[in-house]
């Protein structure tokens, strides 16, 4: 069971000045895996997530979700995008409130609040939360509808170092417990190596690197294996 991407191309704009955000991308991502995507600004990372989420159509090529009849895909952004007039609990249960998802919900809100360290904040409003807590709520909102695939577009990059580390740990633990398929875009090679089983490197709409990261969790950025992988990735990215 896998996400299979065949010859995926996405172009924007009229023909003479067309931007090719993705160029003939071929890629298979196993269900249950945690895959990180890194690459320079403008290389097509967000475009790939938008196509995977079905928010946009490919120019050519296709995405096959093998083994998923009616896939439920959640997407999380750099900003939490919470509803300010709803409590934390109501934000998490947003899909139910608005009957967007007509299904039995797999996740219990109280357990989600606990797993996300928000158990005392169910009745709080978004303005009462720190940036890290707000991102936890955004993650809870996605997990609530029990998605098959979670797409994350630099979800922790606006957070300070300590908050980011806490959220990275929470995400890793959730993934290890639930085995959800996660595709996570980041600018931060260290973050990619802390979390990913696999790191994909993109440049100008193409894949230029695909590394398996077979280091045990939790990972130590000071360890030799970690440093070696970082060098491998930086060599592929190049530019110095
Ligand atoms: N809606 C759009 N209309 C026109 N061009 C677009 C559109 N969306 C993206 N592009 C172009 O496609 C290319 C890839 O953009 P994309 O947002 O996927 O990059 P990215 O890797 O996510 O960058 P960043 O790291 O800065 O978020 C860029 O050249 C961008 O200008
Ligand atoms: Mg982007």
Distance CA 196, CA 214 (A): 9
Domain assignment present for 201:
yes
DSSP tag of 81: -
What is the residue range of 41's domain? 1-67+183-223+230-240
Please, what is the average pLDDT of the chain?
93
Q: What angle do CA 104, 109, 115 make, to 5 degrees?
A: 125
- Ligand 1 pocket check for 223: Cβ under 6 Å: no
- Ligand 1 pocket check for 217: Cβ under 6 Å: no
Atom of ligand 1 nearest to the CA of 40: 25
Which CATH number belongs to the domain containing residue 199 in this structure? Answer: 3.40.50.300
Question: pLDDT tens across 77-121, in order?
Answer: 999 999 999 999 999 998 877 665 555 555 689 999 999 999 999
Domain assignment present for 29:
yes
CA–centroid distance, residue 66 to ligand 1 (Å): 27
Contact (CB, 8 A) for 36 and 88: no
Pairing of strands 198-203, 181-185: unpaired
Percent of the chain with pLDDT over 90: 86
CA–centroid distance, residue 152 to ligand 1 (Å): 16
Ligand 1 mutation pick, 14, 40, 46, max ligand atoms within 8 A of CB: 46
Domain assignment present for 56:
yes
Domain assignment present for 84:
no
Domain assignment present for 189:
yes
CA–centroid distance, residue 43 to ligand 1 (Å): 7
What does the pLDDT average to over 195-221? 97
Query: For the chain, how many structural domains are there in total?
Result: 1
Domain assignment present for 124:
no
pLDDT surpasses 90 at 230: yes
Question: pLDDT tens across 29-72, in order?
Answer: 999 999 999 999 999 999 999 999 999 999 999 999 998 888 89
Q: What pLDDT sits at residue 103?
A: 54
Helix (H) or strand (E) holding 28: strand 19-30
pLDDT surpasses 60 at 198: yes
Q: What pLDDT sits at residue 88?
A: 97
Domain assignment present for 72:
no
Domain assignment present for 148:
no
- Ligand 1 pocket check for 155: Cβ under 6 Å: no
Contact (CB, 8 A) for 190 and 220: no
pLDDT surpasses 80 at 9: yes
């Amino acid at each position: 069971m896998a996400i299979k991407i065949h010859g995926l191309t996405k172009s924007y704009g009229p023909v003479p000045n067309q931007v090719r955000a993705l160029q003939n991308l071929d890629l298979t991502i196993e269900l249950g895996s945690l895959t990180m995507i890194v690459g320079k600004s403008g290389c097509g990372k967000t475009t790939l997530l938008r196509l995977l989420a079905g928010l946009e159509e490919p120019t050519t090529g296709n995405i096959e979700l093998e083994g998923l009849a009616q896939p439920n895909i959640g997407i999380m952004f750099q900003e939490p995008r919470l509803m300010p007039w709803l409590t934390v609990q109501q934000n998490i249960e947003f899909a139910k409130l608005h009957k967007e998802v007509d299904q039995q919900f797999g996740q219990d809100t109280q357990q989600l609040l606990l797993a996300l360290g928000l158990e005392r904040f169910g009745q709080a409003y978004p303005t009462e939360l720190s940036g890290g807590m707000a991102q936890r709520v955004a993650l809870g909102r996605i997990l609530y509808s029990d998605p098959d695939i979670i797409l994350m577009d630099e979800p922790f990059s606006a957070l300070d170092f300590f908050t980011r580390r806490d959220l990275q740990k929470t995400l890793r633990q959730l993934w290890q417990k639930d085995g959800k398929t996660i595709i996570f875009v980041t600018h931060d090679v260290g973050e990619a190596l802390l979390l990913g089983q696999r790191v994909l490197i993109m440049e100008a709409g193409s894949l230029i690197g695909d590394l398996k990261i077979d280091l045990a969790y939790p990972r130590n950025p000071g360890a030799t294996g970690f440093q070696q992988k970082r060098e491998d990735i930086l060599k592929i990215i190049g530019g110095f």
